Amino acid sequence: MTENIKEILNKDFFSKEDLITLLSCEDGESRKIFELAAATKKKYVGKKVYFRGLIEYSNYCSKNCLYCGIRAGNSRYVRYQMTDEEVLEAAIYAYQNRFASIVIQSGERNDKKFISEIERLLIEIHQLSDGKLHITLSLGEQSEDTYRRWIAAGAQRYLLRIEVSDPELYTKLHPNDRHHNYYDRLEALKTLRKIGYQVGTGVMIGLPFQTIDNLADDLIFFRDFDVDMVGMGPYIEHEDTPLFQYKDTLLPLNERFRLSLKMVAILRIMMKDINIAATTAMQTIDPQGREKAMMVGANVIMPNLTPVKYRQNYLLYENKPCLDEEAEECKSCLEVRIAMAGDEIGYGEWGDSRHFENRNEGKGE
Ligand code: 5AD
Ligand code: SF4
Ligand code: FES
């Protein structure tokens, strides 16, 4: 007989079976999960939500992930790279508006020119903010040497989603070549940890071929890897991608959303002091998606600082919000949304992962 949700939620450690039960429960039952997640967030990370100003630096990508709209094989988008001035302007905006942190994200490139451009930008951003603006990178798999150069130039955190934690499922969602290798990605995450980054990872939820069993494994992956930050959200099909052919096999959008919300809530209960993002993909399905994620555990949000002229070319998935809103509009919009979720914005605070801090304090003893 399966245990009831309440009994499972009383445990200190969830088994895979527990996670499957929690992920499969009915809407009425998930309320209990959401309540405990909200209380856990309040107790361990507080009511503050931290801004990470998002700079979508470039949509050039050398990879061909089968789900992603800006994959190299898609010729529909005009490829762009922001100028240094545009990046620095966005960084200054973040600094002056007391965002305290920015994220630089782009498609994956490993050429020397790109690596040095990022290094140079990191140094300049560090200088212009007197080291007060913390920088997260989300630039894919790179060599250990590159990761070292970028941390030396001023980055503190790195986001590299594992996308799915099951190696077999990974091969169904990526071309089977040496550029898309699950074990290389895992190795890259380990290297980032070793070098001293605050490491974030994440998955997509509701992918073709993905099961509840896979999602339970994803949560266990986060716990076993002992990640500092997680960003995850629903998979949203994109017409110009190979995976689009499976669109009729997917969960309906509202169910993908509910499942994503549950993943956030369960993860908050499991990993009490990590940073969890309320992702844009959540809002793509539900107009109040990010508020709902904050109410069940998310404590980080990424206002978009990319110049509006580039936004329609950075569509990893369809119906992405904020295509026409300038930085100022996204900021005001999020201020209202965060207040609606009953939280406050940690202006001027780095909002580093407490989990990272706690682990490193432990090391010194
Ligand atoms: N739906 C949702 N998320 C996607 N990503 C890429 N394509 C999609 C999609 N179709 C996510 C991946 C990647 C992050 C930057 O965007 O998880 O790591
Ligand atoms: Fe490139 Fe990242 Fe999209 Fe894969 S998910 S195609 S690496 S931008
Ligand atoms: Fe961009 Fe709401 S966050 S318009």
Average the pLDDT over 337-362 and give the result. Answer: 89
Which residue lies with its CA nearest to atom 18 of ligand 1?
161
User: Ligand 1 pocket: which of 316, 318, 319, 320 to mutate (most atoms <8 Å of CB)?
Assistant: 316
Coil, helix or strand for 65?
coil
Instruction: Flag whether pLDDT at 1 surpasses 60.
Output: no
Q: Does ligand 2 have an atom closer than 6 angstroms to the CB of 71?
A: yes
Burial of residue 10, with CB atoms counted within 10 A of its CB: 0-12 exposed, 13-18 middle, 19 or more buried: exposed
CA–centroid distance, 343 to ligand 2, in Å, is: 32
Instruction: Flag whether pLDDT at 361 surpasses 90.
Output: no
Task: Indicate the range of 161-170, 203-212, 231-240, 341-350 predicted with least confidence.
Answer: 341-350
Residue 198 has a pLDDT of 97
Average the pLDDT over 80-99 and give the result. Answer: 97
Residue 360 has a pLDDT of 84
Which residue lies with its CA nearest to atom 4 of ligand 3?
330
Residue 358 has a pLDDT of 87
User: Ligand 1 pocket: which of 52, 64, 67 to mutate (most atoms <8 Å of CB)?
Assistant: 67
Residue 99 has a pLDDT of 94
CA atoms within 13 A on the CB side of 34: 17
Tokens read off for 44: 């361990």
Ligand 1 neighbours by CB, cut-off 6 Å: 67-68, 161, 163, 204, 235-236, 238, 281, 316-317
Which residue lies with its CA nearest to atom 4 of ligand 2?
65
Q: Could you report the per-residue pLDDT of 229-270, keeping only the tens digit for each?
A: 999 999 999 999 999 999 999 999 999 999 999 999 999 999
pLDDT-above-90 percentage for the chain: 93
Q: Does ligand 2 have an atom closer than 6 angstroms to the CB of 107?
A: yes
Which residue lies with its CA nearest to atom 6 of ligand 2?
71
Q: Does ligand 2 have an atom closer than 6 angstroms to the CB of 69?
A: no
Q: Could you report the per-residue pLDDT of 310-320, keeping only the tens digit for each?
A: 999 999 999 99
In terms of Cα–Cα distance, which of 141, 139, 138, 149 is closest to 183? 141
CA–centroid distance, 363 to ligand 2, in Å, is: 35
Ligand 3 neighbours by CB, cut-off 6 Å: 304, 322, 325, 329-330, 333-334
Instruction: Flag whether pLDDT at 356 surpasses 60.
Output: yes
| Ligand nearest to C-alpha 53 | 3
- Ligand 1: atom nearest CA of 138 is 15
Considering the entire predicted model, what is its pTM?
A: 0.96
Which residue lies with its CA nearest to atom 3 of ligand 3?
330
- Ligand 3: atom nearest CA of 329 is 4
Domain 33-362 is of which CATH architecture? Alpha-Beta Barrel (3.20)
Residue 216 has a pLDDT of 98
Confidence class for position 364, pLDDT limits 50, 70, 90: very low
Mean pLDDT of the chain: 95
CA–centroid distance, 327 to ligand 1, in Å, is: 22
Residue 205 has a pLDDT of 98
CA–centroid distance, 23 to ligand 3, in Å, is: 29
Stretch (H or E) spanning 229: strand 229-230
Q: Residue 56 and residue 306: Cα distance in Å, rounded?
A: 6
Q: Could you tell me if 143 and 184 are in contact, meaning their C-beta atoms sit under 8 angstroms apart?
A: no
Which residue lies with its CA nearest to atom 3 of ligand 2?
68
CA–centroid distance, 71 to ligand 2, in Å, is: 6
Instruction: Flag whether pLDDT at 281 surpasses 70.
Output: yes
CA–centroid distance, 172 to ligand 1, in Å, is: 15
CA–centroid distance, 64 to ligand 2, in Å, is: 7
Largest CA distance in the chain: 62
Q: Could you report the per-residue pLDDT of 110-161, keeping only the tens digit for each?
A: 999 999 999 999 999 999 999 999 999 999 999 999 999 999 999 999 999 9
Distance set, CA 227 to CA 56, 57, 115, 149, 218 (Å): 24, 25, 25, 22, 12
